[in-house]
Chain A
Amino acid sequence: DQQVKQNSPSLSVQEGRISILNCDYTNSMFDYFLWYKKYPAEGPTFLISISSIKDKNEDGRFTVFLNKSAKHLSLHIVPSQPGDSAVYFCAALSGNTGKLIFGQGTTLQVKP
C-alpha cells in the first residue's frame, strides 16, 4: 500500500515558468512533509519542509503548500531554471516513528 503517491512520473516546463509538483498521501498520522531533489549518482538533497500545522512555507524560489483536508501537498518552483532539472521526491513523517515514507518521484525537465 503506497502511503505517499506522486502520480506524475515526469514534468517538462520552459525556463522561467512555474513548475508545480504534486503529492498525495493517505495516512492522517503524517505530521511533517519534506521535498527532496535528487541528481543521478547522488543522494537526495533536502529542499523544503512543512509541518502539518501550517498550510504554506516559502524558501526563495520554492514554496510548499499543504491541504490537509485533501491530503495533498504541492511544490512550486518559480521561476524554473535548467539547473532545477532532477528527480523530486515527496516524503512524509509521523512524529513517533522518525521514518520517512517516500513517493515514487517526479522527473522534472526545465528546457532553456
Chain B
Amino acid sequence: DAGVTQSPTHLIKTRGQQVTLRCSPKSGHDTVSWYQQALGQGPQFIFQYYEEEERQRGNFPDRFSGHQFPNYSSELNVNALLLGDSALYLCASSLLKGWGEQFFGPGTRLTVL
C-alpha cells in the first residue's frame, strides 16, 4: 500500500512566479490537508480539502489556493511567490475530515530566490 506521495521533491522558483505542488493521499483516505514548515518551526496548517471543497483554512493569504480532484488527490498553488514562501510543504491524508491520525508525505522543498 503506497503511502502519501508528493511531487516534486524539490523546486526552485524566483520571486513573483507561481508554483503548483501535488499530493496523492493514502489509499482509502478522503481528506487532504496542507502544511507549511519553515526552518526550525513546527508545521503550520494552510488548508484542508474534503469532498473537493476547502473545508478549513489557516492564516495564509489568498495567494495560497488549492484543489482536490475526484480521486482525492490534491494540488497546492502559490501565486506571486515571496522569499518568505521558501519552506517545506507537507501534505497529510486522513479520514473523518482530519479528526484522528493524519499521515504525512515526504514534502516538497520550495526555494524562492
| Mask: chain A, 20-49; 1 = CB below 8 Å from B; 0 = not | 000000000000101010000111111001
Number of A-B residue pairs with CB-CB distance less than 8 Å in the complex they form: 70
Q: Is the CB of B104 within 8 A of A44?
A: yes
Q: Kindly state the interface size class of chain A when it binds its partner.
A: 20 to 34
Q: Is the CB of B98 within 8 A of A43?
A: no
Given the complex of chains A and B, what is the CA–CA distance between A99 and B35 in angstroms? 10
When distances are taken between beta carbons in the complex, the residues of chain A under 8 Å from B31 are: 98
Contact of B55 among A32, A34, A41, A98 (CB under 8 A): A98
| Mask: chain B, 23-64; 1 = CB below 8 Å from A; 0 = not | 000000001010100001111110010100001101000000
Q: Is the CB of B104 within 8 A of A98?
A: no
Given A97-B56, A98-B94: 8 more A-B contacts, CB < 8 Å: A44-B43, A49-B100, A95-B99, A98-B31, A98-B56, A99-B33, A100-B98, A105-B42
